Amino acid sequence: MHCPFCGHEETKVTDSRLAAEGRQIRRRRECLKCGERFTTFESAELVMPHVVKSDGRREPFDATKLAAGMYRALEKRPVSSDAVEQAVERICHRLRVLGEREVPSRTVGELVMEELRHLDEVAYVRFASVYRSFQDVEAFRETVDHLRHHRRRRDPNREQLPLLPGEQAGTDKER
C-alpha cells in the first residue's frame, strides 16, 4: 500500500476491524517513512455475470438498472427503500452464487418477480404485466389467481387457533 502523503511503498497495519456489517475490513495504517496514519477499507471484488438478452445481446449486470425497474413497479406503494435495497442485494447474491459468467435475462426477471411477490402484490402484478407482455385480461387473471394460490399457501395464521376469546381461528382482521 502506497502512503497517500509521501508515496512511500511500505506501510504497517496498526489496527484491523470489520466494517459494513462484516463485508469490509477497516485497516488503520502507518507510513514507515513519514509516520503519517491513514485508513483503508478492503472488500471482496465479486464479479457479476453478464446478462444475455432475448435478442442475444450481452451486457454487464447493472444493479442500479435492476433497482430502477423495481422502484418503477413499486411507485406509490408502501414499501421502504431499505426493503427494496435488501431485495436487490438478495438478487445479486443469488446471481453470484450461480457461479455462471452469463445468465439469461429471463433468470433475472424471475428473481425480480419472486422478490416483488414478497414485497408488494400490486407491484408484482405491475412488473409481471410488462415483463410477460400481457396481451389480454385473461393473462392478468391467471397471474392474480397464481398470486392468490401462493398467498393461501404461505398464510401463517390460516391454521392457528385464536389468541383471544371471541376471535375466529385463521382469520386476518386486516383483510
Write down the pLDDT at residue 133: 67
Compute the average pLDDT of residues 73-94.
93
Asked whether the predicted pLDDT for residue 136 surpasses 80, the reply is no
- The per-residue pLDDT of the chain, averaged, comes to 84
Q: pLDDT class for 29, splitting at 50, 70, 90?
A: very high
Asked whether the predicted pLDDT for residue 78 surpasses 50, the reply is yes
The mean-pLDDT minimum among 64-73, 83-92, 149-158 falls in 149-158
Compute the average pLDDT of residues 20-46.
91
Residue keyed to cell 511500505: 10
Neighbours of 81 (CB within 10 A): 10
Contact 115, 71 (CB under 8 A): no
Asked whether the predicted pLDDT for residue 175 surpasses 50, the reply is no
